[in-house]
Structure 1
Amino acid sequence: MTFETNPAQQPEPRHQPDPAQQPVETQQPRSTKRLALILVSSAVVLLLIAAAAVVAVTQSAAQQRKEGLELLKGDQVNALVDARGKLQPAANAYLAAYKKARNAPASQEEAEKNSAKEREEFQRAAEAARTALKSVQLAHDSGEDGIGVAAGQLAESYQGFIDHMEGLVDSYPEFEGLFREDGAGCNGLFVGSKAANLRERQTLLTQAAKPCREAAEQLKQSRNIAYVEFARTFDNRVAQLESNAGITAESEEKYNEFVQLKDQLVRKTDEATARNASDEELLAIADEAKALNTRIRNNRSEFDFAAKRYLSGVKDMPVLVEEVFSKKIPTEIKGYDSVIPLRVQILKDAVDIELVE
């Protein structure tokens, strides 16, 4: 038996749509959302990485600063203190060596040669102190915060001490040679016993004072304030000696003139009395004698004042020289000994404050 199928009754096959013919509108929103999510996720990741990097850098910088401050407070400041402690003994060793060589006796050139070793050792100590100071300055170069201010104040005092000690050493040959014949020859100022009269004394004093005051001018250029102050005072004292020597010399010459005038008045009075001169003439002679006596008294007053000052200047000169090392320089060093340790402690305290913060 044959069955025939009616085409009209056959079910129609389902139509399968072509993906290629799908409208693009159905895929575009999904792709855009995925892309946005990817971009947002990437941005978040980058931000997290950047934040982590900033935190890491900040922490690293903070750690480095902490280590730097601890180094400043410890090794660098301690090196500064140690270097300063070696500077003064080195200077004293040089001064002693130079003076010993000079008293041998030796010329200034020979004394410098014989004390060259001590001079070099001092110079190395000064360079070490300067290097230690530079290390502290470079460790904290900001002058705006507490540490910077404290470091700046310490550096100012410390550099002043280095300059003081270097000036003490550099200018010592000039100071030590003031009263040596092969130096400035200032002992020529004391010429009283060598002069026949006060005018000759003034002449000899003026000759000795010229190179002596020139040496004082050189000493005024020293970096050591004690030498500078001495040189200024010394220069003034020499000028006063010259002035007072001139006044006494002039007064002595006037006195000799007054003696002659007095003798003339005595003869004039005797002659007038012998010839029974009138009262008017005798009164006139008396007035001349009175005026002469006034001039003599004034001249004597000027002489006494200048003579006392001159003798006082001569007497005080050795004391003035001695006080440079007995009083002036020790006072300057004592000042640094008080200020520098205090400023070291202030710097350490400033570092501690910042480390705590």
Structure 2
Amino acid sequence: MNVSDIGIDLGTASILIYVRGKGVVLKEPSVVAYDRDADKIRAIGDEARIMLSRTTGNIVAIRPLKNGIIADYAVTEQMLKYFIQKATGRLSFKKPRISICVPSNVTEVEKKAVEDATYQAGAREVLTVPEPIAAAMGAGIDISRPCGKMIVDIGAGTCEAAILSLDGVVVDRTINVAGDNFDEAIMKYARTVHNLIIGERAAEDIKIHVGTAIERPEQKIMEVKGRDLGTGLPKTVRITSEDVREALKEATGQIVEAVHSVLEKTPPELAADIVERGIVLTGGGALLDGLEELIEEKTGINTVTAEEPIAAVAIGTGIYAEMTARNNRLEG
């Protein structure tokens, strides 16, 4: 895989770009700052996030990806072009071969939209990779052999649970419950229980610092600042890890249910492999404290989180591009 071949994790919240030999060279939020008055994009990625935190009114945030698929084609194309140039260098003369992930339940129309946007952004060749396959490859799982492996990729917009064997997806289920839903649930809980209005950034901080999916003997406590729903004045409350577990109960329950439903549909021979080899979690959502323990408790199957859960899909798309290029050379 030369420098002109790259792998892209096209995530709802973040975009990661992987270059073999260099690893993940770019990780930025998949957001743009759009100027409504001038009808133009002012900033993309990290620059957009900084700009949006300091301006109001005419400059608004656009997230062109929803649940892992393109919601705004034109903005996605501009964003991809910007990130590809940033990752490969503006002086790159050769157009890159790009391997890019798509949800496994994507329609042909949605897949074509990703391919077209990537070509328009400057690719000479585009390979689309089902997300569970990319996640498994990035987690170091060998899916080429005729035995079952289970991957659960929990991103920002979607959770995909899949059984893989012989380089393919045997059984899978995608639900639109993931990291963003955790944040929304925490915001809703703060509003309902504590009469406190908090933003997405504060909710994410709570999730990271005191969030948990299971009961812990010792609770963590965090002071959270927000606005009182009744008075409109600033207010500080204490939120415990048990509060957050309660807030996330429905979302984590849906993820467990998705894992269950995939296991129920798995052929017996492959199910026996899963019991023996366990379940691997990837994606930023997998970092929620206690989630692997909750899945293990509810399924009775050993569950672990990949070494680099956030980067796994990006790494996997890069490996997929390299494998495809190598196979093409051998066939040629």
TM-score (norm: length of structure 2): 0.28
Larger radius of gyration: 1
Q: Which has the higher strand share?
A: 2
Q: Which has the higher helix share?
A: 1
TM-score (norm: length of structure 1): 0.27
